[in-house]
A = this chain, B = another copy of it.
Amino acid sequence: MSEQQKKAVVLLSGGLDSATALAIAQEQGFRPFALSFRYGQRHAIEIASAQRVARNAGVEEHRVVDIDLGAFGGSSLTDDLAVPKGRSDEEMSGGIPLTYVPARNTIFLSYALAWSEVLGTGDIFIGVNAVDYSGYPDCRPEYVEAFERMANLATKAAVEGTCPVTIHTPLVRLTKAEIIRRGHSLGVDYGATLSCYDPGSDHMPCGACDSCQLRAKGFAEAGLKDPALV
């Protein structure tokens, strides 16, 4: 890792997508600085996955920021509502799901923006995806473009022209199978990732929530075995 390489902040959730986004940032020659959040998640094991992914990728700095989204309520990922299980493709593509967290990516990207300015870079990677679209408005390209435009008016470094902000979304147009094939070719250790919204006490995925179903379908279409299930 060279000092000459450009730094980038990479949002890292511990899931499959952000692990792939991290590998793509490295492939593109960036020095990644990983950023994760504890946000009243019911599952601190997400953070443990993010830490494993960052370590396996040789990330030089990984910060975990505590944020209290739970204080505002409004989602089954932070509240005690049940995570929906066994939904059909049709149900999954219909509207915005219960697992939606208000303004989540906006808050995450805002922190990434703050850290990137302090690091002296404007490059931020986020593993959002609009193909296997689960109905989250803040995963769409038009949202990310609007955030980028706002960010370029928000910070000293962007306004003064030293660090224009670019929000990189390398996965936005890929199917889940394409993401997995891409990550596989880059050597991503998917065994370290966790996608499940509701893992068991043994940390194994439930296999039935939307995220588990999308992941299983993606590995099947990519013709690969999910190493997290071995």
Contacts and interface: CB of A to CB of B under 8 A. Distances in A.
Give the interface centre of A101, A102, A107 by most chain B CB atoms within 10 Å: A102
Interface in A28-83: 63, 65-69, 71-74
A140 interface: yes
A163 to B, nearest CB: 11
Q: Is the interface of A mostly helix, strand, loop or mixed?
A: helix
B106 A110 contact: yes
Contact of A107 (B72, B111, B142, B150): B111
Given A63-B71, A72-B118, A103-B117, A154 B150 contact: no
A-B complex: 10 closest residue pairs judged by Cβ atoms: A103-B114, A146-B150, A102-B114, A137-B159, A102-B117, A143-B153, A74-B118, A103-B113, A107-B110, A110-B110
A151 interface: yes
A114 B118 contact: no
B102 A150 contact: no
A215 to B, nearest CB: 23
Interface string A70-102: 011110000000000000000000001000111
Nearest to A74: B118
A72 B114 contact: yes
A225 interface: no
A66 to B, nearest CB: 7
A156 interface: yes
A3 interface: no
B143 A146 contact: no
A134 interface: no
User: Interface centre among A74, A100, A114, by most B CB within 10 Å?
Assistant: A114
